[in-house]
DNA sequence: TGCAATTTAATTGTGTACAATTTAATTTTG
DNA sequence: CAAAATTAAATTGTACACAATTAAATTGCA
């Protein structure tokens, strides 16, 4: 087997699937004015209400080089606010706004719609997620 | 179950894994002067020697907006050449150069190194690839 | 205490991604 | 055959990703 053939790579299917999933999200997210990475930030904030940029970076595996400009756009659209932490001035707190909170209602139908569009049954979907998470756990264990 | 929790998404693990794999490739590819998408182009050219931008876009699921500037950089580094097709002037042929051909030797060890770094055994690796490809096949079948 | 080391964001620069539009070539159709 | 429709790349503009550097705050240690 030729290891340098596109069809024999694992890397490419993962890369292609990631972009494919993002493109399926796009029309849904466009309706509520979010990009896909911004949606991931909202998922965190719908759950935690307030996080530091550091925590956000840890959860989404993104650095400040990506998050700073992304959050700037989310502040401009009124979904979050930003302030230096009182305890530690190095940290920046990101808080969800009322507008951001209300957006959750409009997003509830998205996950289900996506599963349908991927045409993957729940069981296959769950197995895939489990397998990928098993691989990601190795990275996680090395980083913390 | 809350569908709008980050940990319950499939989308996020795929997105995270894709970026994780790219970051594992980066140090290897840096040594031979390629980015990850440029490496994908080389995988195609090592196999086919010559393709049109259209074919490349079809194989990698990328459009000319991404490929045109990316290929421009690969021409500048001397890996490929570019010329209008004789039969149909709308098409652009991308050919591998001798330098591009020689680069294959330096890339042979990369796929194996990656599997090791992912710390995933061959069997798990294969199953994951199969599952992802099953999902991607649905998209493929709709597009062609 | 005081200074060096560390930590956190922001900044800078490069390289994708991709929607939307434009331009040029080819194909279809009346 | 000629105009309309289609196709392929290139261009324009927006938004990530991420390495490397910078700046400011905090921590640790002599």
Whether residues A71 and A103 fall in one domain: yes
Largest Cα–Cα distance in chain A?
A: 59
Instruction: Give the separation between CA B113 and CA B100, rounded to whole angstroms.
Output: 21
Whether residues A103 and A119 fall in one domain: no
| Contact predicate A7/A21, CB 8 Å | no
Whether residues A116 and A68 fall in one domain: no
The confidence score (pLDDT) of residue B140 equals 56
Whether residues B67 and B128 fall in one domain: no
The pLDDT tens digits of the residues spanning A75-88 come to 999 999 999 999 99
Whether A13 sits inside 8 A of B43 (CB atoms) is no
Residues 6+ apart with CB under 8 A from A115: A122, A125, B10
The pLDDT tens digits of the residues spanning B13-43 come to 899 989 999 999 999 999 999 999 999 999 9
Whether A13 sits inside 8 A of B120 (CB atoms) is no
CA atoms within 13 A of residue A143's CA, in its CB half-sphere: 10
| Structural domain range at position A127 | 109-144
CA B89 vs. chain centroid, Å, equals 26
Residues 76-135 of A with CB under 8 A from B: 104, 107-108, 111-112, 114-115, 118-120, 124-125, 127-129, 131-135
| Contact predicate A94/A71, CB 8 Å | yes
Number of domain units in chain A: 2
First to last CA, chain B: 37
Whether residues B102 and B114 fall in one domain: no
Whether B43 sits inside 8 A of A133 (CB atoms) is no
Instruction: Give the separation between CA A41 and CA A43, rounded to whole angstroms.
Output: 5
Whether residues B69 and B39 fall in one domain: yes
**Both structure tokens of B128:** 């994951």
Whether residues B117 and B48 fall in one domain: no
Whether residues A113 and A103 fall in one domain: no
Give the confidence band of A119 by pLDDT, cuts at 50, 70, 90: low
Where b means 16+ CB within 10 Å and e means fewer, A52-85 reads ebeebbebbbbeeeebeebbeebeeeebbeeeee
Work out the number of other CB atoms within 10 angstroms of the CB of residue B58: 13
Residues of B in contact with A121 (CB under 8 A): none
Give the confidence band of A121 by pLDDT, cuts at 50, 70, 90: low
Secondary structure (3-state) at A42: helix
Residue A94 phi/psi, 5-degree rounding, is -110, 120
Whether residues A26 and A89 fall in one domain: yes
Taking 60 as the threshold, does the pLDDT of residue B97 lie above it? yes
Residue A12 placed within a domain: no
Whether residues B54 and B93 fall in one domain: yes
Taking 70 as the threshold, does the pLDDT of residue A143 lie above it? no
Give the confidence band of A122 by pLDDT, cuts at 50, 70, 90: low
Residue B10 placed within a domain: no
* CATH code, domain with A78: 1.10.10.10
> Which of A2, A3, A138 best probes binding to B when mutated, by most B CB atoms within 10 angstroms?
A3
Distance (Å) from CA A79 to C1' D25? 28
Whether residues A42 and A95 fall in one domain: yes
Whether residues A51 and A87 fall in one domain: yes
């Amino acid at each position: 087997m030729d290891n340098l053939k596109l069809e024999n790579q694992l890397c490419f299917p993962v890369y292609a699937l990631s972009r494919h999933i993002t493109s399926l999200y796009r029309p849904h997210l466009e309706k509520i004015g979010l990009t896909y990475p911004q949606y991931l930030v909202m998922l965190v904030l719908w759950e935690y209400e307030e996080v530091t940029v550091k925590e956000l970076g840890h959860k989404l595996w993104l650095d400040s080089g990506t998050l700073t400009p992304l959050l700037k756009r989310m502040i401009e659209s009124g979904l979050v606010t930003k302030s230096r932490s009182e305890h530690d001035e190095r940290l920046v707190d990101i808080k969800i706004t009322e507008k951001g909170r209300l957006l959750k209602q409009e997003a509830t139908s998205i996950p289900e719609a996506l599963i349908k569009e991927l045409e993957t049954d729940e069981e296959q979907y769950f197995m895939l997620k489990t397998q990928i998470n098993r691989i990601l756990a190795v990275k996680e264990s090395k980083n913390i």
